[in-house]
Amino acid sequence: MKKLLIASTSTVYGSGYLEYLQPALTSFFKGITIVLFIPYARPGGISYEAYTKKVKEAFASIDIEVQGIHEFKNPKRAVQEAQAIFTGGGNTFELVHQLYANDLLVDLKEVIENGTPYLGTSAGSNICGVSMMNTNDMPVVYPPSFVTLGLIPFNINAHYLDPIQGSTHMGETRETRIQEFHFYNETPVVGLREGSWLEVMGSKIILKGNLTARLFQKGTHPIEIESGSVV
C-alpha cells in the first residue's frame, strides 16, 4: 500500500527545517530507523553533502538516521533496499534530470507503490504528480522528459500563492499560469499553500495542515479543499 506525505514546503515562517511537520513525521516514520535522502534538487546549488547534513540534523530530533543516496556506489540498490525515502526541495528540473540520469524513476515508483514510506517537500512533492509541469522553478537543465512518478492522479503546484489584495504587481498570478497549463493539458492541479501537505494511504488522499488547498480542473472554476477532506 502506498504511504506518502507530500508537503508544499520544508520550512514555514518562524520555524526550523521540517519543524512544523515533526508530529506528522514521528507517526509516519514509526518503526523506521534509517531514511534514504535524495538531495538531487540541491536548492541554491548547495552540495549534496551540505544538504544531507541539514536533513540529518532535522531527523536526529526524532531519532532517525539519514543516508544520502550519493553516498552509495549503487543508487538503484539504495532505493530498492531503503526502509523509507525523503526527497527534498530545490529545483525540480535538476531533480528530474538526475533521476533520469541515474535511471531511478522506475525503481522509485515501484518501491513506493509497494509500500516504502515516502516524504516529499517542494520539488520532492512535485515529482509525485503525473508530470513536473506545474513547478515554479527555472529550467536550469533540460530533463529527458517532464513525466514523473504518477503516484497521485494530478499535479502539484507547491508554494501556491493567492493574489495579494491591493498589490500593484502586474505579472501573472499562479492561477493564470495554471490556466495556461490547462489550455494545453487535461491533468488536474492542486495548489498546496505553505504549511499544507497531502497524506496518501493507498488510494486515499487527505489534505492536512491549517489551510485549504486549491483544486484546478480544465474547463471549471477552481474550488477550495478544506483541511481534513479527501482530495
Query: 226 CB contacts (<8 Å, ≥6 apart)?
Result: 207, 212
Tell me the three cell numbers of residue 64. Answer: 532517525
Give the residue among 208, 226, 231 at the shortest CA–CA distance from 23: 208
How confident is residue 163, by pLDDT bands cut at 50, 70 and 90? confident
In three-state secondary structure terms, 183 is: helix
Q: Give the list of residues 6+ apart from residue 39 with CB closer than 8 angstroms, or none.
A: 46, 48, 51, 52, 55, 68, 69, 70, 88
- Which one of the listed residues 10, 70, 97, 122 is annotated catalytic? 122
Rounded distance, CA 32 to CA 47, Å?
26
137 carries an active-site annotation: yes
Residue type, 206: I
pTM of the model: 0.96
Nearest-Å Rg of the Cα atoms of the chain is 17
**174 membership: H or E segment, kind and range:** helix 174-184
- Residue written as grid cell 492541479: 189
Q: Known catalytic residue: 159?
A: yes
For residues 190, 23, 88 and 176, what is the CA-based torsion angle, rounded to 10 degrees? 20
In a domain, 149, yes or no: yes
Determine, yes or no, domain membership for 52: yes
Range(s) of the domain holding residue 151? 3-225
Residue 123: CATH number of its domain = 3.40.50.880
151 found inside a domain: yes
- For 164, phi and psi rounded to 5 degrees? -90, 120
Beta strands 3-7 and 34-38, pairing class: unpaired
- DSSP-derived 3-state class of residue 213: strand
Q: Which residues pair with 53 in a beta bridge?
A: none
Q: With a cut of 90, say whether residue 164 has pLDDT above it.
A: no
Residue 185 identity (one-letter amino acid): N
Q: Is 102 a domain residue?
A: yes
Would you say residue 58 lies in a domain? yes
Give the rounded percent of residues in the chain with a pLDDT score beyond 70: 99
What are the DSSP calls for 40-52, one per residue?
TT-GGG--HHHHH
Q: Which of 70, 131, 137, 196 is catalytic?
A: 137
Residue 231 lies in a domain: no
Q: Give the model confidence (pLDDT) of 123-156 as tens digits.
A: 999 999 999 999 999 999 999 999 999 999 999 9
What is the per-residue pLDDT across 28-84, written as a single tens digit (0 to 9) for each?
999 999 999 999 999 999 999 999 999 999 999 999 999 999 999 999 999 999 999
Q: Which residue, among 79, 92, 84, has the nearest Cα to 124 in the 3D structure?
A: 92
Q: Which amino acid is at 42?
A: R
Total structural domains in the chain? 1
70: which DSSP letter? Answer: G
Give the per-residue pLDDT at 55.
98
